[in-house]
Structure 1
Amino acid sequence: MFKAHQSNKAAAINPLKMSQPLGGALALLGIDSCLPCFHGSQGCTAFGLVLMVRHFREAIPLQTTAMDQVQTILGGYDNLEAAVLTMYERNKPEVIGVCSTGLTETKGEDMRGALTIFRKKHPEVAEKCNLVFINTPDFTGGIEDGFANTVTAVIDAMVEPASVKVSNRVNVLAGSHLTPGDVEEIRDLIEGFGLTPVILPDLSTSLGGRQPDDFTATTLGGVTAAEIKGMGAAVLTLAIGEHMRKPAEALELKTGVPFKLFDRLVGLEAVDAFITTLSGLSDRPVPARVRRQREHLVDGMLDGHFYFSRKRVAVALEPDLLYAYCGFLQEMGCEVTAAVAPTQSAILEKIRAWSLLVGDHEDFETLSRGADLVVSNSHARMSVSRSGAPLVRAGFPTFDRLGAGHRVVVGYRGTRDLLFEIGNIFLANDHEHSIQDWGLEGTTEGHHGGSHAKA
């Protein structure tokens, strides 16, 4: 069994880890008419807000309880109560989600107790608005943990058991590693079999890019409160990503709806398993459109496998996305020389790499020396510029490229596009090295084509 080693440095340098509250806010942004709020200082909220705005390039409705040093010491419930009342009175959201931060967690804030007190003091608000308070300490875990904890809290607070099941309804617990574009692709595949998916959270309709006619202070789009409450009527839950196991188990315990976990949807074999499940669940054959997409992927794999073979790749991403990329690259014949995750996770045990480490971008820079390709988020751009290896940007945050939220790497189409993106980088570098090896720099393509240089 492969085991990830923990970096033993006293401090993280150029951190790879994103905090739990950020993951919690991301999950809440996939719920319609919701107001996410950080229970902490204004700085905690501002930092997370900037990261999400730069990544998604959308307006992000993120509130704060604006704690200061005095209130932190004496107790922050008054700030929390005032913030929730203000948010409800001004905007009338259907859901208010409050995530704790390092400041309030260090003080020892009891979020469950605070919710109980608020409901007793303000039953008129609790009856009309769904309140979800979540412990998301940012000094432990990461974005996947905060995301999973928040989805679990939403299920515990809002989902209602159902005595009657809807035969064509399925729940989808979409992990934090999926982009809005990925979620939209998953929805298309499920609907292609005549099934109706309820996706929690649904970032495809809230952060996929919309221009509303009128400004709204709450989230616009996403899974509705009514849909969440009705998740108990589904016949199956599809959990995407290992960190969605916890909310899937919570949903099964509360409603009796069984779940099936897919640790990745990138790669031919992984997508085949997903499509087979959908076909069996719906009792329908695979649509011709999806069959064509599979043929295109297989053809692309045949065309590109030569350029992937024996290439050395280093990957630094959140655990579930790290596993998805490493698995796909190895299936294409690459050697993963370094795999770095920001936090521990059960999925890391499945990753096969020369070096597997829980660390930061400084560790990653050291381990990735000599790699033909580097895969990480935009925070890796400086270290990569020193090594000279090409960088494929993936994960959160990606703030120096357009379209991060629309990128699709899941399903047959997404895998095919990822294959071409990476394969073209390998192809271009092979051509450049061949030209240099033959001493043909400065010649024109018309006189010395790529085929002559490689002969």
Structure 2
Amino acid sequence: MAMSHIQRFPSAAKAASTNPLKMSQPLGAALAYLGVDRCLPLFHGSQGCTAFGLVLLVRHFREAIPLQTTAMDQVSTILGGYDNLEQAIRTIVERNKPAMIGVATTGVTETKGEDMGGQYTLFRQRNPDMAGTALVFANTPDFAGGFEDGFAAAVTAMVERLVEPSPVRIPTQVNVLAGSHLSPGDVEELRDIIEGFGLSPIMLPDLSLSMAGRQPTDFTATSLGGVTVDQIRAMGASATTIVVGEHMRVAGNALELKTDVPSHFFSRLTGLEASDKLVRLLMELSGKPAPARLRRQREALVDAMLDGHFFFSRKRIAVALEPDLLYAVTGFLADMGAEVVAAVSPTQSPVLERLKAATIMVGDHSDMETLARDADLIVSNSHGRQGAARIGVPLHRMGLPMFDRLGAGLRVQVGYRGTRELLCEIGNLFLAREMDHGPHDAGHHGADESHGCGGGSCGCNAV
């Protein structure tokens, strides 16, 4: 698509958002902390800030989410919240003995202007007996930025606080900075791909071990599984770092600056060309050819693209997702010959400049509803279902939150296998519509119709 035909609107000019797409920075930071083994995220703010974030994560992952708060009130907000922070950390360490406590600020403390660096130093000076627990503080005001920004801030804070430079390099050890747009299933797939070349990845954060579904024998108030604090410290000895997502670029630069470990940036890992780029890098790092399993997966993806491009060609699709996931999905759809008529992001991001879409804007689900009236499909999270139903356009669910489908955290959309699964899921929606209505039916497939599959029993992801 020619760039001259692209319409870019910096943001939607309206007084209020009726169906928000944006999620806050503290929530993104909490998810990043949850990818660390035996970690307990701590919101430095009021109890309400924590409660709403907790509900959203529980509904999406259907897992017990450990999340604590410093319970700031009116008095501590005015006079300063250090006492609340110190008491909360001491209580958590004494009762739960976590390996790490990840602190994320909220609008309450950021508006007050809490000096988090100074509070960290003061806590360490006043509590030398708690040196065995790692502490990471991240500034994540929820009145600025969004979900990806908070996730990136937490990962950057972990890199700066925990990673230790090393004069020794382990040739087979590879760091992976996994962006917030990667599901636990995506992280697991990425690990399998890297290990197939004989390499040992350290994933930061590693949601595949903590948020993909585990049943502990005993109750634990901390995260169950994930990258360990010792592994994070050892990232300085790796041979290279793979950075996935534009919002992780700052964390990748911080890691390279601190350790001199070279980094390789991937804007997306969904699609044939993107997957080929990753495999070529791993072949170069390991000195080994691609495993037979990956070669078979690539052949299957190419065949699926040949089979499915008939159903994607010239389809009009509207997408509303977090910036890096938005970039990955719109790029894949353009590869398949579809026309992305609208791309809506909740926040500004440099990656928006590279999107392939007719209209690009920062907005919410109500903006998507307006832009998608002539679309064949909407791609967004579960909060987009009401708007899709009103305008009669089917919805393919992606991103977070996805609370009305099982297995949201287990879906795979990266690499050859993940790209093929995404292709088949969306392609089946178009195929089902053609089978039900015929190629000459101009009416939209209603968002509340079962299209002959008994309400979604065929495996498609329509409403």
TM-score (norm 2): 0.93
The residue aligned with 1:316 is 320
The residue aligned with 2:48 is 43
Distance of 2:10 and 2:422 partners within structure 1: 29
Listed as ranges, the matches of 1:173-188 within 5 Å are 173-188=177-192
The residue aligned with 2:445 is none
Residue 6 of structure 1 aligns to a residue whose secondary structure is coil
The residue aligned with 1:235 is 239
The residue aligned with 1:371 is 375
> What is the root-mean-square deviation in Å for CA atoms of aligned residues?
1.4
Distance of 1:303 and 1:394 partners within structure 2: 23
Matched, 1:89 2:97: no
> Percentage identity across aligned positions?
66
Structure 2 stretches lacking a partner, 5+ long:
443-451, 453-463
1:422 CA drift (Å) = 0.5
Structure 1 stretches lacking a partner, 5+ long:
439-444, 446-455
The residue aligned with 1:362 is 366
Q: What per-residue deviation string (whole Å, max 9, x for no partner) do you get for residues 219-238 of structure 1?
A: 11000000000000001000
Kindly indicate whether the alpha-carbon contact (under 8 Å) linking 1:4 and 1:348 is maintained by their aligned counterparts in 2. Answer: no
Query: In the alignment, which of 315, 322, 337 is matched to residue 333 of structure 1?
Result: 337
TM-score (norm 1): 0.95
Distance of 2:46 and 2:441 partners within structure 1: 57
Distance of 2:112 and 2:284 partners within structure 1: 51
Query: In the alignment, which of 8, 14, 32 is matched to residue 13 of structure 2?
Result: 8
1:107 CA drift (Å) = 1.2
Matched, 1:109 2:127: no
The alpha-carbon distance between structure 1 residues 435 and 227, as it changes in their structure 2 partners (threshold 3 A), is closer
The residue aligned with 1:196 is 200
The residue aligned with 1:452 is none
Query: In the alignment, which of 101, 104, 128 is matched to residue 132 of structure 2?
Result: 128
The residue aligned with 1:449 is none
Kindly indicate whether the alpha-carbon contact (under 8 Å) linking 1:203 and 1:222 is maintained by their aligned counterparts in 2. Answer: yes
The residue aligned with 2:33 is 28
Residue 18 of structure 1 aligns to a residue whose secondary structure is coil
1:134 CA drift (Å) = 1.0
Matched, 1:401 2:412: no
Deviates more, 1:78-87 or 1:423-432: 423-432
Q: What per-residue deviation string (whole Å, max 9, x for no partner) do you get for residues 53-109 of structure 1?
A: 000000000000011111111111110010000000111111011100011111111
The residue aligned with 1:61 is 66
Distance of 2:137 and 2:209 partners within structure 1: 24
1:33 CA drift (Å) = 0.8
Letter in 2 for 1:88: V
Distance of 1:435 and 1:425 partners within structure 2: 14
| Aligned residues between the structures | 439
Kindly indicate whether the alpha-carbon contact (under 8 Å) linking 1:179 and 1:405 is maintained by their aligned counterparts in 2. Answer: yes
The residue aligned with 1:158 is 162
1:6 CA drift (Å) = 1.4
1:432 CA drift (Å) = 2.1
The residue aligned with 1:389 is 393
Distance of 2:107 and 2:392 partners within structure 1: 37
Letter in 2 for 1:220: L
Query: In the alignment, which of 68, 71, 76 is matched to residue 81 of structure 2?
Result: 76
Distance of 2:388 and 2:430 partners within structure 1: 16
Letter in 2 for 1:305: H
Distance of 2:142 and 2:385 partners within structure 1: 24
Residue 37 of structure 2 aligns to a residue whose secondary structure is coil
The residue aligned with 2:448 is none
Distance of 1:84 and 1:437 partners within structure 2: 62
Distance of 1:4 and 1:237 partners within structure 2: 35
